[in-house]
Chain A
Amino acid sequence: MTKVVDRSPLTFYERTYLPAILEGIKVTARHFARTVQGQNTAKDLSGGYYPETPWKVSEGYRGAPYLVRDQEGATKCVSCQLCEFVCPPKAIKITPPGPDGQAADRANAEKMPREFEINMLRCIFCGLCQEVCPEEAIFLRNDYSLTGLSREEMVYNKEKLLGLGGVHAGVQKWKHKAEEARAQETFPVKV
């Protein structure tokens, strides 16, 4: 479908500019009247003005990405580094555990990151980390106002990310695998 845009020259009436100015004044006056009567739209929605009354975000809002724990308080991240790979602004930096790293919270998940850093100054809140995560360990939460006094402070480490992320109950596949393996106690077959 083609939409034809009217590009005919301005009429004398339009070229005087005054009608447009008057239209603008009308809008301002309408808002002024509403504010005086206490009917401001922003106030209606959030019950107040922004810094004093924080803005309530809706479901599915893409705020700051944080790490989450499972319902038993175990770190879900297994340091697969897919988020680090997919992150478009390279905001994520993961230090893998290495051969002699700390044991994972969930025994048969075998590993978890030694360090997990997100540079919130670099993050563009695109949500690709959440989408790519095979462990449901990172989520874009509701935080939209991130402040700090230095650049270093805006690099959130693993401890801070886990603290802010809270708990996200999930499938617990590693636990199920461990249970399934325990049920097969006949292995290795004794002869």
Chain B
Amino acid sequence: MPEPVASSHPITIDPTMSNAVTNAPAAPPPVEKVRVKVDGREIEVPKTMPDWQGKMQPTTMLQACKIAGVEVPHYCYHHKLPVAGNCRMCLVEFSTPMMDPATRKPVLNEDGSPKMARSVLPYEPQTPRGAIACATPISPGMEIHAASPATKQMREAVLESLLINHPLDCPICDQAGECKLQEYSVQHGQAASRFVEPKVHKPKAVDLGPRIMLDDERCILCTRCVRFTRDVAGDDALGIVNRGSYNTIASAPGRSFDNNYTLNTVDLCPVGALTSKDFRFKMRVWFLKETPSVCTSCATGCSVTVGSREGIVHRYEPRENDAVNGPWMCDSGRLNYRWIHRPDRLGKVLLRGAESDWTSAIAELAALLGSAPKGSVAFVASSRQTTEELWLVSRIARKLGALTDTVAREGEPDRLLVSADKNPNSQGARLTGVSFTEAGVTIPEIARGIDEGRIRTLVVLGEDVTKAGISSETLARVGNLVVSDILPNATTAAAHVLLPGCAHVEKRGTFINGKGRIQRFGKAIEPRGDARAEWEWLQELAVALGAVEPSRSIEGLFNRMASDVPALAGVEWARLGDLGVTVPV
């Protein structure tokens, strides 16, 4: 049986949600149950269920059907948006127990079961009257006929009406393959069109905003986009203009639809009316390999799905996770993937300017760090690295008595999802002990150590330290500068040992977001050139220095780390799942 429709408003994150280890949710209060029948099968459903904001409201027929495992097709309904009830696709036939108007007692059949009254048109009692399942509350004893001939006929009729002016340009439509109109037409529609008149033509390729393209002909006017931007994003920018079959979605006159959450309307749009300019005509969706991942643009760490094909990332989409982002994500995070395919990505292991290989580089590093006197090494790691990598850095640093820190990255927060901390794993750095609560406080001390000649070896991972408090002149005094990074910068240019790194979509690992949610992410594409996941070589180095026991896989490494870091006690890779686990921070 599927979970009941998920709770909580995306912005007010529900801390009691899901499988938290340490702050286990309190026992839920007893819920009043109602017995209803769905397609002849009796089930028990809660009398009230959370609506889109998480407020308890009477359970609807659609929610009851979902609990029963019966899918009711719908377009305008979305569990995280206010109910509009305008598409009529979820019409179902239902019956209620018959009541004797005089005695107010239920009328019984001869066998003692309650006599059911099908809902019919009041002026035409032989015709069934459907009700929209998304907005009609259930009542005790109600029977929902989600697969009756009348229900099927209603769906067929609604689809036919929606398709009357639909252009059927699926071959050029980006939504094809994930289009609800296509899916429901196959499942519930008619095989042929009876409509012979010319279709109403509306504007195509309308520029709605900097990231959104609108095709008015494809729109079925479900108003999901209107409701999202008004009620969730808080920017009342969209509406419906004109009348009748000339209804079109439009932004307010003289305004561009340009808030930081516009691309969510592309996900919400059940048809191909709203399409992303960034993804437009880039790849057909059925080719995309979907890898569960985490957005790295800020400490919110939205759950995302990476769509890639043959080693190329084509898009990020939010993945529903009520403990983090709900079903939404911001546009800036969603579009922050192009750097992965920048042509100037570092792809070669360089040992003092000469091309080398990983085996000799790691051997040289192990010899260098192994023979370094205590206190002569410092690490500047990045909070964009995975928790496992940061833990390995902290273990190596502990072994060598080295100073460690990460670089803070601050930005403008907003009231929805964007966090002021622009690092995806600041908590990981704190919990593994690489940085203090305030990241970057040790960097001046490291710079002073270099200037005074105490620190001879500096290991920099994924950061440009020349912009973070260690000037180029100071950097030039370092005897051995070991740098691992993805893209070239002033620090990689000065490196004595340069190790090409991986983007997060090229490796596996975990991030801990600002609220302490550990989420794991998968590998979508192969690394470029000689680039190698940092945890692999960091672990080789740590093993060579005797700082950790070797693990064969990221799973093993994570579990080893979890048993070492107090905050992660009891967490296991296998228990993280796709939604992650919350730890105290």
What per-residue 1/0 map shows which CB atoms of A130-154 lie under 8 Å from chain B? 0000110000000000000000000
- A108 and B204 form a contact (CB under 8 A): yes
What distance in Å separates the Cβ of B165 from its nearest Cβ neighbour in chain A?
Answer: 11
Q: Which residues of B in the span 133-170 have a Cβ within 8 Å of any Cβ on A? A: 167, 169-170
A63 sits at the interface (CB 8 A) = no
The verdict on B198 contacting chain A, using a C-beta distance below 8 Å, is yes
**B171 at interface, CB cutoff 8 A:** yes
Secondary structure class of chain A's binding surface, majority of residues: loop
Interface range for A = 20 to 34
* Cβ of A97 under 8 Å from chain B: yes
Given A180-B199, A181-B201, A184-B200, the answer on whether A189 and B243 have CB atoms closer than 8 Å is yes
A79 in contact (CB, < 8 A): yes
In the complex, A184 Cα to B217 Cα: how many Å? 13
Cα–Cα, bound, A134→B204 (Å): 20
A99-B283 in contact (CB<8A) = no
Chain A, residues 175-190, CB within 8 Å of chain B (1/0): the string is 0010011011001110
Measured CB to CB, the nearest residue on chain A to B278 is A99
Give chain A residues whose Cβ lies under 8 Å from the Cβ of B277.
Answer: 99
* Across-interface contacts of A79 in B (CB, < 8 A): 281
Task: Report the tally of A-B residue pairs with Cβ distances under 8 A.
Answer: 65
Interface residue from A80, A81, A183 paired with B198 (Cβ < 8 Å): A183
Closest to B215 in A: A110
The answer on a CB contact under 8 Å between A111 and B242 is no
* Residues of B contacting A98 in the complex (Cβ-Cβ under 8 angstroms): 280-282
A128 at the interface (CB under 8 A from B): no
Tell me whether A96 is interfacial, beta carbon within 8 Å. Answer: yes
Q: Which of B248, B280, B287 contacts A81 (CB 8 A)?
A: B287
Return the chain A residue nearest B282 by Cβ: A98
B195 within 8 A of A: no
Using known A-B contacts A189-B242, A189-B243, determine if residue A99 contacts B202 with beta carbons closer than 8 Å: no
Residues on A with beta carbons closer than 8 Å to the beta carbon of B287? 81, 84-85
CA distance A108 to B205 in the complex (A): 9
User: Is A68 an interface residue, CB under 8 A from the partner?
Assistant: no
Q: How far is the CA of A78 from the CA of B284 in the complex (A)?
A: 12
The answer to whether B284 touches A85 (Cβ under 8 A) is yes
Q: Is there contact, CB below 8 Å, between A177 and B281?
A: no
Cα distance A101–B278 in the bound complex, in angstroms: 12
CA distance A84 to B199 in the complex (A): 31
Residue pair A109, B172 in contact (C-beta under 8 Å): yes
- Min C-beta distance of B245 to chain A, whole Å: 10
Of A80, A101, A188, the contact of B246 (CB 8 Å cutoff): A188
Which residue of the partner chain A has the closest CB to B244?
Answer: A189
Cα-based distance from A177 to B287 in the complex (angstroms): 29
Q: From known contacts A188-B246, A189-B242, infer whether A85 and B172 are also in contact, taking CB-CB under 8 Å.
A: no
- How far, in Å, is B182 (CB) from chain A's closest CB? 13
- B205's nearest neighbour on chain A, judged by CB, is A110
Q: Which of A86-130 contact B (CB under 8 A)?
A: 96-99, 101, 108-111
Q: Which residues 189-219 of B sit at the A interface, judged by CB distance below 8 A?
A: 198-205
B286 at the interface (CB under 8 A from A): yes
Complex interface: chain A residues within 8 A of B202 (CB): 187
Residue of B nearest to A178 (CB): B201
Cβ contacts under 8 Å, B280 to chain A: 98-99
- Whether, in the assembled complex, B176 has its beta carbon less than 8 Å from a beta carbon of chain A, the answer is yes
Across the interface, which residues of B come within 8 angstroms of A183, CB to CB?
Answer: 198
Are B205 and A180 in contact, CB atoms less than 8 angstroms apart? no
The reply to whether A111 and B281 form a contact with Cβ atoms under 8 Å apart is yes
Residue numbers of B with Cβ under 8 A of A are 167, 169-172, 176, 198-205, 241-243, 246, 248, 277-284, 286-287
Residues of A near any B CB (own CB < 8 A): 78-82, 84-85, 96-99, 101, 108-111, 134-135, 177, 180-181, 183-184, 187-189
26 A-B pairs with C-beta separation under 8 A: A78-B171, A78-B172, A80-B176, A82-B171, A84-B287, A85-B286, A85-B287, A96-B283, A97-B281, A98-B281, A99-B278, A99-B282, A110-B169, A110-B204, A111-B172, A134-B170, A134-B171, A135-B171, A177-B201, A180-B198, A181-B201, A184-B201, A187-B201, A187-B203, A188-B246, A189-B242
Q: A109-B172, A183-B198 are in contact. List 16 more A-B contacts (CB 8 A).
A: A78-B171, A79-B281, A80-B176, A81-B284, A81-B287, A82-B171, A85-B286, A85-B287, A96-B281, A96-B282, A134-B171, A135-B171, A177-B201, A180-B199, A184-B198, A187-B203
